[in-house]
Amino acid sequence: MPQPKVDYSLYLVTDSTPAILGNKDLVKVVEAAVTGGVTVVQLRDKTSDTSDLIRIAKALHEVTRAANVPLLINDRIDVALASGVEGVHIGQDDMDYKTARKLLGPDAIIGVTTNTEAEALQAARDGADYLGVGTVFSTATKANTKSIIGTAGVQQILSSLATKSLGHVKTVCIGGINARNAQRVLYQTASPSKKLDGIAVVSAIMAASDPKIASTHLKDLVSAPPPFAKFLFKDPLTRESIIATTPTIIAGLANTKPLAHNMTNLVVQHFAASVALAIGASPIMSNNGLEAADLAALGGSLVINMGTTTPEIRKNHLLALEAYNAVGGPVVFDPVGAGATEARREGTRSLMGGGWFSVVKGNEGEIRTVAGVEGVRQRGVDSGDAQLGLQERIKVVRDLARRERNVVLMTGEVDVLSDGTRTVSVANGHALLGEITGSGCTLGTTVAAVLAVEREDALMGTLAAVLLFEIAAEIAAEKAGGPGTFVPFFVDALYGLRERCKAGDGTWAERARVK
């Protein structure tokens, strides 16, 4: 009998240790999980004696068979054979795939744990039915996991499989997956050519006080895109469409007055609030993660600026990121000075791993740090020297946007922004922006405020924000005597452009120098 088509969308790995199972009954938990919507079950038990394992496997099999859910045994081919279950899951240190296949026959389901591209390609070539790809996030559930590969690592493995004509092999990811991150992990790991078939979890179900409710919730989550991915609207952009659309977006901002939640650094609080007000948003400067869910519910947007982050503030950033992700509210990441110190590199890693950003905005050094380019040194948190040529900058920005499935904005004399398919460069702005403090930070504020109203096309929204900001700087520079007077003229110019947009006059956008 050929293998029936397996649904890998919600894959449960059991754990009988007291730390996870508590005093619950394993069979009852699996029964509840299957009723809740789990689609595959793997019995993973590293300590029980063989006779006990076979007994447990048979008991679980009664439950899973009734629900038409395959039961697999971790590592133990003998136990799988003795209990007559559907297959096994083998790790890199277990029996090799080919021997397992010989012993179990062509109809058994055999999955393989893979941590690297090479392991994944090998297992897929050998003929594994599915791969368990991980470890995605650090987890307390499994001792001595190999490397943490993050969503970017999973995506790299998926696209490599597709490139090598091995896209048919099914894949689930494992390690630290739970209801808070399941949807965005599925979203962030997807490559254009291959996406995951499901998620594998241990503690999210096994340690839940109500495994049925936990499973139902997870099943609902994996069956739908995350709230922030509702809009996939991507009109081609031309200079004409950009000039026509930008003032409309800014008028929408001024007329809506959306909440602009700023979690920003000590240096620019006041200036950022002034800029947000000038462009027509309603700023709230709050670094308290505990109120982020309430603020996210008000329908605005968030900018997380890493400028003066401490470990305490980072916890707040992560709480807020999660809260906005949960309701689909736009979040802009401004990784200020990302490459400057180890603490900032670590902060960048944990924020990028802790949620999904609609836009990542930074200078060349910051964006390259986010992209994981080694050897990028930053002296301070100011812009520093550009090192790459325009074509290289475009490649870094586009590749990062593709990887994160978001919008990336790299600022500089020429700004480059991309959503992975469409890439635009902007040559507006003025040198005086580099002579004042907080110009980069307030651009982040501006982008986030605009995204609160432009929900359909994040690239166009980001571009409108950049043009508003930089054309205002050009207008201000015409009047300013230097950096000191530039700041008030700049706030005036932002305000003036917004008022012109409200009055239906969008001619200023013709100053756009976009390509």
| Interface ranges with Mg ion (CB under 5 A) | 75, 91, 94
Specify burial of residue 169 (Cβ count, 10 A radius: 0-12, 13-18, 19+).
Answer: buried
User: Hey, what long-range contacts does 123-128 have (CB within 8 A, 24 or more apart)?
Assistant: 123/97, 123/169, 124/161, 124/164, 124/166, 124/169, 125/166, 126/97, 126/98, 126/101, 127/97, 127/101, 128/97, 128/169
CB contact at 8 A, 369 and 338: yes
Residue 432 CB, nearest approach to ligand 3NM (Å) = 50
Binding partner at 368 among ligand 3NM, Mg ion, none, C-beta below 5 to 8 Å by kind: none
Query: Considering beta carbons, is residue 23 or 144 the nearer one to ligand 3NM?
Result: 144
Q: Which of the following is catalytic: 400, 441, 451, 477? A: 441
Binding partner at 75 among ligand 3NM, Mg ion, none, C-beta below 5 to 8 Å by kind: Mg ion
Q: Does 217 help bind ligand 3NM (rule: CB under 6 A)?
A: no
Binding mask 155-184 for ligand 3NM (x = CB under 6 A): -------------------xxxx-------
CA distances from 364 to 20, 302, 337, 346, 423 (A): 44, 22, 10, 18, 16
441 catalytic? Reply is yes
Work out which of 39, 113, 156, 411 binds ligand 3NM, going by CB under 6 A: 113
- What residues between 35 and 64 interact with ligand 3NM by CB under 6 A? 44
CB contact at 8 A, 219 and 413: no
Size of the site for ligand 3NM (CB under 6 A): 18
CB contact at 8 A, 40 and 72: yes
Residue 199 CB, nearest approach to ligand 3NM (Å) = 9
| DSSP category for residue 452 | H
Binding partner at 141 among Mg ion, ligand 3NM, none, C-beta below 5 to 8 Å by kind: ligand 3NM
In the chain, count of helices (H) and strands (E)? 20, 16
Work out which of 6, 10, 12, 13 binds ligand 3NM, going by CB under 6 A: 13
Q: Which of 233, 455, 181 is nearest to 330 (CA)?
A: 455
Q: Which of 218, 213, 154, 206 is nearest to 182 (CA)?
A: 218
Binding partner at 42 among ligand 3NM, Mg ion, none, C-beta below 5 to 8 Å by kind: none
Query: What distance in Å separates the CA atoms of residue 320 and residue 429, rounded to the nearest whole number?
Result: 31
Q: Which of 171, 184, 173, 153 is nearest to 349 (CA)?
A: 153
Binding partner at 410 among ligand 3NM, Mg ion, none, C-beta below 5 to 8 Å by kind: none
Q: Does 202 help bind ligand 3NM (rule: CB under 6 A)?
A: yes
Query: What distance in Å separates the CA atoms of residue 337 and residue 306, rounded to the nearest whole number?
Result: 8
Q: Does 201 help bind ligand 3NM (rule: CB under 6 A)?
A: yes
Choose the binding region for ligand 3NM from 137-145, 311-319, 336-344, 393-401 (rule: CB under 6 A): 137-145
Residue 74 CB, nearest approach to Mg ion (Å) = 6
Work out which of 10, 204, 303, 473 binds ligand 3NM, going by CB under 6 A: 204
Binding partner at 142 among ligand 3NM, Mg ion, none, C-beta below 5 to 8 Å by kind: ligand 3NM
Q: What is the dihedral of CA 31, 34, 35, 36, to 10 degrees?
A: 120
**Residues known to be catalytic:** 441
* Residues at the contact surface with ligand 3NM, assessed by CB under 6 A: 13, 44, 113, 132, 134-135, 139, 141-142, 145, 174-177, 201-204
